[in-house]
Chains A and B, each alone.
Chain A
């Protein structure tokens, strides 16, 4: 077991594992906020549920890792349904505040539950997360997201983001789709959390606060809301930049902040806004076959509008 493990020095392997987990987490949030346009400021809460659930599963019940991961994902999805059912009727700022609130509530609850370690945290989780496992899960999540994107389900989600009333008038039950989408996004967050728990081995409620949610949101926004390759790039860049900037020690976070600001000024739609694997493939085909260029539409401006 573990084709990819031990090929690299432990330090780089650890960074790659972190990058992989963040890609998973960010893809879950991209589905909710990027594809469907529902601003979720509490993504870390679902990651947290997955992390604690899977940790308890492997520590107290001795479950195999795969079962622990799935249990984490499923409980996170269940919470997604419970929280999503009342809140997804809200839009924009109101939804954002509600998701933020849930994240903070969950954190406070965990602080006060001795069974999961309270503020002391939950320690002694077996280090089962390997690069191979993270890589496999990441690939499955990427393929799933690409498939969703080009499906009837995915089109319905984008339609809801673009114009909810028009979506409803075209036969889409927006509430139902938002709920399904939200629980899928939370499931992915839960899986990411489970992998995270078995990597860092100690869980503390404060690790899953508002800042963590914002960190993941940053990746999605930087990469380009709604773009899968963008989200992957965003998660990779933002996870590795703090490592690359290690030479500058205490100026690290300052540089990180400056980079973010610069990025948003020069690429307001993110690094790869509007880019999908599909569009990359199409462009690739055009490069391979330079002979038949798709008809350049000359100045079709019409009446504008």
Chain B
């Protein structure tokens, strides 16, 4: 069973086209969506999150289309967008208090405990946060809704290593439940690669690679340099790499 399944998806925008994209997030697994800037990662995530118009193709959630059970699907899906969608002159405390009545499942205790654990002051206005604090807050905020499938767009951009490690902790904690799944995007090698089970690579609006990390690394294992990180593999596949044995398309 796939938590998310995209089949033959096309999206057209002014200067961008996504062609025949198929990929899946198997239930209980973590998928890393990699590719350089402009490859279509955010477009794909927005399509899955249902916030952008799509052309032909299908997206299913636990085998269901959005119109079959919109309420359930939206409840189970937690999306951390690259840009905060709310007024950043407000503080998390005010924000949570204002949305609380609309989200009966919002786990207030989880939110408060983890904000404290990550040492993020919920009374500061969000525009005063460092990018590390902002990213961690957004993640905790979405996780507090207790989703089953978590989607994160570029969660580690501008985040220091210590905070990245804390974010990784939150993700591993989330994944202790067998029916939880994660899709995250990144344009750089980040510590998040460690948790990924599958890597999907986008380039110019197409999927150019979709493989388990195990398979991927075993293919590169005999390069004589130890197991390469995802960034090296990405450069290699796009054709600017330095590895002796080409992975090839």
Do A and B make up one complex?
A: no
Chain A residues within 8 Å of B, Cβ to Cβ? none
Chain B residues within 8 Å of A, Cβ to Cβ? none
